[in-house]
Amino acid sequence: MVSLSVRLQRLRYRQAFWAWVFLSPGLVYFAIFLILPVLASVYISFTNWDILTPPRWVGMANYTELLQNSTIQRAILNTFYYAAVTIPVTIALGLLLALALNRAFFGRTFFRIIYYLPVVISAAATALLWMWIFQSQVGLLNHLLAWAGLPKQSWLVSPLYAMPVIMWTGIWQSLGWSVVVFLAGLQNISEMYYEAAKIDGADSGQLFRYITWPLLAPTTLFVLVILIIGSLQVFGTVLIMTDGGPLNSTTVIVHQVYINAFQYLRMGYGSALGIILFLFILLLALTNLRLFGSSTAH
């Protein structure tokens, strides 16, 4: 007679077998379309390859050239400048709007939909919309400035204004997503905490400081990590609105990957830049998880 422990062990093996069977399609897809391309990119980054001829191994030459290229250095600085401005602004505005939309008032659903609409609009359509608004000659904003008696500005062709315009466009498109995520976090906070604090005499500022903000820590960490990943990969708005100009004032890392890999056919050089971007994103994400992840676990 088979003992109970043997039967339980066989049951565990059977469950594990069927678990791997059902997971295998997703794992195969993940390996073929994600893992293999990443490994191929790492290999290509150490080669000189123009697609038309076989790759030629050059070792660290691509990475050495990247460190000495002033345009790439400018693109890296622009990328982190973009992220350093858009991320805190998006988080702050998203939280403020979520707090406002979490209250009961007439038309609340309408405003929630309005704020989320930019998220579902494609990056290309968003860029074209704001290009029209900020256009120097026929743009809506310059028409409003002229109507108010103020001088028109060359928004998209000025090194001073071009990057702020790109930042504004990115904030406008991602703000609705941030609002929705913060709303979900706020609605998961039990009213019991607020009622108990109000009984003890806490005002609205103390409620936010000691209840809302600490309990929103996991949500804030999630929003922060996703915004870091998205902001470091900004590309569509830059390509359509300014194509990295004027004078490389808006060029970013992904824009330089596109130019070098698909315009100059320097696939090895572009892959090396893509690997550097991946390492930046990984480092920042792990740093945030390390700094804030432990606090959110308590």
> Of the candidates 151, 154, 148, 149, which has an alpha carbon nearest to the alpha carbon of residue 135?
154
Q: Are residues 28 and 72 in the same domain?
A: no
Model pLDDT, residue 48: 94
CB 257 within 8 A of CB 76: no
Residue 54 included in any domain: no
User: Number of C-alpha atoms within 13 angstroms, CB side, residue 168?
Assistant: 13
Q: Are residues 237 and 276 in the same domain?
A: yes
Identity of residue 134:
F
How many whole angstroms separate alpha carbon 166 and alpha carbon 93?
Answer: 17
- Backbone Cα Rg of the chain: 25
Residue 163 included in any domain: yes
Q: Are residues 9 and 144 in the same domain?
A: no
Phi and psi angles of residue 56, each rounded to the nearest 5 degrees, phi first: -120, 125
Phi and psi angles of residue 114, each rounded to the nearest 5 degrees, phi first: -60, -45
DSSP secondary-structure letter at 220? H
Q: Are residues 15 and 96 in the same domain?
A: no
Residue numbers of the domain that contains 202:
63-296
Q: What is the mean pLDDT of the chain?
A: 90
Q: Are residues 18 and 82 in the same domain?
A: no
Query: How many Å is the maximal CA-CA distance in the chain?
Result: 96
Q: Are residues 227 and 272 in the same domain?
A: yes
> 3-state class of 48 per DSSP?
strand
Q: Are residues 77 and 110 in the same domain?
A: yes
CB 171 within 8 A of CB 93: yes
Model pLDDT, residue 293: 62
pTM of this prediction exceeds 0.85: yes
Q: Tokens representing 84?
A: 């350093």
Q: For residue 219, how far is the Cα from the chain centroid?
A: 15
Q: Are residues 13 and 125 in the same domain?
A: no
> 3-state class of 249 per DSSP?
coil
**Structural domains of the chain, count:** 2
Torsion of CA 65, 71, 72, 74, to 10 degrees: 140
Residue 53 included in any domain: no
Contacts of 163 (CB under 8 A, 6+ apart): 78, 81, 82, 249, 250
CB-count exposure of residue 208 (10 Å: 0-12, 13-18, 19+) = middle
CB 178 within 8 A of CB 91: yes
Model pLDDT, residue 288: 80
Contacts of 158 (CB under 8 A, 6+ apart): 246
Q: Are residues 33 and 109 in the same domain?
A: no
Compute mean pLDDT per 10 residues along the chain, 298 residues long, and list them: 72 87 91 91 94 92 92 95 96 94 85 89 91 89 90 90 95 94 92 87 87 91 92 94 93 95 94 93 85 60
Residue 50 included in any domain: no
Partners of residue 56 on adjacent β-strands: 48
> 3-state class of 149 per DSSP?
coil
